[in-house]
Amino acid sequence: MDKRYAIHPEHAKTFTTEQLRGQFLVQDLFVPNEVKLCYTLEDRVVIGGIYPVNEPVELKGYNEIKADYFLQRREIGIFNVGGSGSVRVDGEVYALNPKDCLYVGLGSRELIFESDASEQPAKFYIASAPAHKTYPTQKQEFKTVPAEELGSPETANSRVLRRYIHEDGIQSCQLVMGMTALNAGSVWNSMPTHTHDRRMEVYFYFELDENARMFHMMGEPTETRHIVMKNEEAVISPPWSIHCGAATSNYTFIWAMAGENYTYKDMDAVAMDELR
Ligand SMILES: O=C[C@H](O)[C@@H](O)CC(=O)C(=O)O
Ligand SMILES: [Zn+2]
């Protein structure tokens, strides 16, 4: 399990490109038949990739979180970003088609990930946060999740936002998760930008052409920096940081938040004039 510290904004200002990448960028999430995890001390969120190509893969407890099983003190949101597959939770099998999401609450012991076919393996992107009570395990299919149209082609940010785990959807202790898809020709996400000092956030970019690059923006509004990212990489946004980006073609991303509150719309908009 990779580990990242929480970073002070005064420290982040001084980082070189390599230091920024080392602290905030998460690469190589999908290794065949393995679990790859990154534990950030920003709100103690764990993100990761689970890629069962030709055998089932189990998510277990880890010494880093001193847990006998992964969900001993946590909850988890699981998105399938590959071919069809399933997750077995304490003997119950949940089929996950592409872009379906499964939430599993505190206390479930067994989490086994499997692909339906090794020629088109499932890819599971996960985000997990500490939890204080058990909310029921719940699946949200892509085809029935409400879709919200945002932006416009004129401003190159025409996109469709879908909330899966949130106040009016799948219930959780503190995890809020969803997916935003950029329409063809649009490249900007989350612009005008925002911060939310109450919650950290992680963006996981996928469906980005292998030769395309994402220029992800971060930093305090008056001290912006960028990180150049490839397909299927994630980036940690501390609560004080903006998080938005433009890529050289369209893409989809999964956003995950955890922290003080649970209100999706609690965002502090950043005026264009403030940005430096
Ligand atoms: O706090 C909310 C998150 O940053 C995202 O939901 C924003 C987003 O998906 C978008 O504007 O495209
Ligand atoms: Zn945000």
pLDDT (average), residues 195-201? 98
| Cα 175 from chain centroid (whole Å) | 10
pLDDT (average), residues 110-127? 98
Would you tell me how many other CB atoms lie within 10 Å of the CB of residue 37?
A: 22
pLDDT of residue 13: 97
Distance 208 CA to ligand 2 centre (A): 20
In this structure, the residue with its CA closest to atom 9 of ligand 1 is 180
| Cα 47 from chain centroid (whole Å) | 7
Distance 57 CA to ligand 2 centre (A): 31
pLDDT (average), residues 1-10? 98
Which residues fall in the annotated binding site for Zn(2+)? 194, 196, 201, 243
Which residues fall in the annotated binding site? 194, 196, 201, 243
In this structure, the residue with its CA closest to atom 10 of ligand 1 is 190
- Name residues contacting ligand 1 (CB within 6 A): 159, 161, 178, 180, 189-190, 196, 201, 243, 255, 267
pLDDT band at residue 159 under the 50/70/90 scheme: very high
pLDDT tens per residue across span 30-49: 999 999 999 999 999 999 99
Around 30, how many Cα atoms within 13 Å sit in the side-chain half-sphere?
A: 18
pLDDT of residue 202: 99
pLDDT of residue 136: 98
The answer, yes or no, to whether the previous bond of 130 is cis (omega within 30 of 0) is: no
Closest-lying ligand 1 atom to the alpha carbon of residue 267: 1
pLDDT of residue 250: 98
pLDDT of residue 221: 98
pLDDT tens per residue across span 58-109: 999 999 999 999 999 999 999 999 999 999 999 999 999 999 999 999 999 9
Q: Which amino acid is at 85?
A: G
pLDDT band at residue 258 under the 50/70/90 scheme: very high
Whether 96 and 86 have beta carbons less than 8 Å apart is answered as yes
- Selection from 94, 237, 111, 264 nearest residue 178 by Cα: 264
159, 163, 190, 196, best to mutate for ligand 1 pocket (most atoms within 8 Å of CB): 190
pTM of the model: 0.98
